[in-house]
With several copies, the nearest count.
Chain A
Amino acid sequence: MKQTNTTIISNIPLCPDWFELTFTWDILSGIPMPGQFLTIRIVNQTSPLLRRPFAFSWFDRASSQASIIYQRRGPATALLAGLRTGDTLDCIGPLGNGFEPFISQKSIIAVAGGIGIGPMAFFARTENNNARPIQFVYGCRTASMIPATSWFDDLKTIVCTDDGSVGFKGTTGDYLRSLPANRYSLYDLFCCGPTPMLASCARFAQENNVTCIVSVEQVMACGVGACMGCVVKTIDGFVRSCKDGPVFNAQKLMWES
């Protein structure tokens, strides 16, 4: 993990308000793993102030290029969307613990909700080359929120839309529950997305005794484990999502009721 100025290779819109940012990544800073993130200081000003965390959505070792997929939400991401090829980016990373595909014979279901697609696609595309079968489940509100990328070509993908405009109609949680119950024991779940989605997957997993690994999102101040600002409640008390996470076994987390 290092602080470095990287150079933007491209900053491409994927669907309304979503962008894929690709930049140089020096492997001396460490090799980004799926589920790990970096923090970016977007402007040399006092507002927006804090660095912003984004999960890696890809790392290409050959070209030494890394990517994130981000959504324009507020001041920092609006500024990010204005950056162009050749601009520099103050980055710290790779940070946190990624999705470690623990030893298991089971197939993987990788569930991504909304902008959680970045780290999950990174994970799925990486695992896709390995022995364990993997199924990618992507949930979003409607068809227009499916990013224009080619990854889906390589992945066994189920798209779930809230409005049924394409694929399975319902949430990713609904989709999981729609699978034959006698097959639940064949899967390990990996999830990244909005908290209600994670909670739903975690509930599903607990009820059906399925291993469920989730990546959580908390507001971060330091991003490196120094401030205790980003903690989540676990059965062992508060732990830092930036340093001890953001990937946790869902069983360890205390889900709000």
Chain B
Amino acid sequence: MNTPDLGVTIGIKKLPNPVGVASGTFGYGSEYESLMDLSILGALYTKAITLLPRGGNEIPRIIETPSGILNAIGLANVGVDVFVRDKLPFLRTLSSPIIANVAGSIEEEYIAVVEKLESFSGISGYEINISCPNVKHGGLSFGTDPAMVESLTGKLRAKTKLPLIIKLTPNVTDIAVIAKAAEAGGADAVSCINTLIGMVIDTKQKKIVLANKTGGLSGPAIRPIAVAMTYKVARSIQIPVIGIGGIMTADDALQFLLAGASAIQVGTGTFVDPSIPKQVHDGIMAYALCNKLTCIEDFHEFLP
């Protein structure tokens, strides 16, 4: 039997395989170069890119929790100009598609970042991080309001023909409503999910561990939540869903694919073992072969 073609079409591009590495967990690619074969990646999602450089949150920024980690890195990044100058050249040398994760505090910031990036080659698409607070709307996260999501998506859509992926926040009552708003705004896909809001308190010192107070919970702890949301979102929209949350093994990734995701991202898992993206990739391939699945859509046939 031939190797199945598990390429994933998102908008005008095709990712060579469904296994990506999640934004914020892979830097700008170079850090993991000596630890893994970057060419096996179906997509590399950059750390969030904002218009200006940002230092990120105060420290501490990381604390481990049961089967998870809580992070409050903030949008620590070099800013779009330095990204283009210092990071993009290395990323261009990779064979895998590079998806720029874009963040901002107001709509105009997202738009400006995408506009800047449009004039450079080497970017295969945009993943829009809508978990950020909208400072014009009292700091309410963009991603919690369907109107804000549809508006932002529409404006970004007007700026680019490249794949436009809206990254959903799980901290909402009904994630399907937000996914539909992204679809209505013209998104090519949604990523599902970003981190859940959490807090850890140091009872000895009687203070909150993270300087930012709350952080984003990721890792295996949130996987069942992410699978449930992926299942729901995949049944609410027509565009592809990219499943994210606690993937450590091929079996975990397959849960998302069976639930309706067309691709997945490994985040925290890469920290724990940099060989996980490849293990997941190989495990999905083996599963496809063994179950005679020839394309990603075949994974979606089993569940109601």
Contacts and interface: CB of A to CB of B under 8 A. Distances in A.
A226 B59 contact: no
A43 to B, nearest CB: 10
Interface string B41-67: 000000100000001100111111011
A227 B59 contact: no
Contact of B25 (A220, A227, A233): A227
A125 interface: no
Given A46-B66, A49-B220, A229 B73 contact: yes
Contact of A231 (B24, B56, B66): B56
Contacts of B31: 222, 224-226, 243
Given A49-B219, A243-B31, A219 B274 contact: no
A228 to B, nearest CB: 5
A19 to B, nearest CB: 21
A145 B68 CA distance: 33
A58 B97 CA distance: 42
Interface stretch (B146-154, B265-273, B291-299): B265-273
B130 to A, nearest CB: 21
Query: Which 3 residue pairs spanning A and B have beta carbons closest together?
Result: A226-B27, A229-B62, A46-B67
A49 B271 CA distance: 9
Contacts of B129: none
A51 B69 CA distance: 12
Interface string A189-227: 000000000000000000000000000001111111111
A220 to B, nearest CB: 7
A49 B67 contact: yes
A226 B273 contact: no
A92 interface: yes
B71 interface: yes
12 contacts: A3-B35, A3-B275, A41-B272, A41-B273, A46-B66, A46-B248, A90-B273, A222-B25, A222-B270, A228-B76, A229-B61, A229-B73
Interface residues of A, number: 31
A222 B26 CA distance: 9
B2 interface: no
Interface in B209-228: 219-221
Contact of B66 (A47, A90, A92, A223): A47
B34 interface: yes
A3 B32 CA distance: 11
A115 interface: no
Interface string B184-199: 0000000000000000
Contact of B59 (A46, A90, A231): A231
Interface in A1-58: 1-3, 41, 46-51
Contacts of B76: 228, 231, 238
Contacts of A219: 60, 62-64
Interface of B: 24-27, 31-32, 34-35, 47, 55-56, 59-64, 66-69, 71, 73, 76, 219-221, 248, 268, 270-275
Contacts of A233: 59
Contact of B56 (A90, A225, A238): A238
Most B CB contacts (10 A, CB to CB) among A1, A48, A219 go to A219
A237 interface: yes
Nearest to A44: B273
Interface string A82-105: 000000001010000000000000
Contacts of A140: none
Given A92-B274, A227-B271, A229-B61, 19 more contacts: A3-B275, A41-B272, A41-B273, A46-B220, A47-B67, A47-B220, A49-B69, A51-B272, A222-B25, A222-B270, A226-B27, A227-B73, A228-B61, A228-B73, A228-B76, A229-B73, A230-B62, A231-B59, A237-B55
A232 interface: yes
A232 B64 CA distance: 18
A224 B272 CA distance: 11
A224 B66 CA distance: 23
Interface in A238-256: 238, 243
B25 A226 contact: yes
Given A49-B67, A229-B71, A224 B35 contact: yes
Contacts of A229: 61-62, 71, 73
A98 B5 CA distance: 46
A223 B35 CA distance: 12
A190 B35 CA distance: 31
Contact of A228 (B56, B69, B273, B275): B56
B271 A222 contact: yes
Contacts of A228: 47, 56, 61, 73, 76
Contacts of A223: 271
A229 B34 CA distance: 20
A176 to B, nearest CB: 27
A220 B35 contact: no
Contacts of A230: 61-62
Given A221-B71, A227-B25, A238-B76, A50 B35 contact: no
B40 to A, nearest CB: 15
A172 B59 CA distance: 27
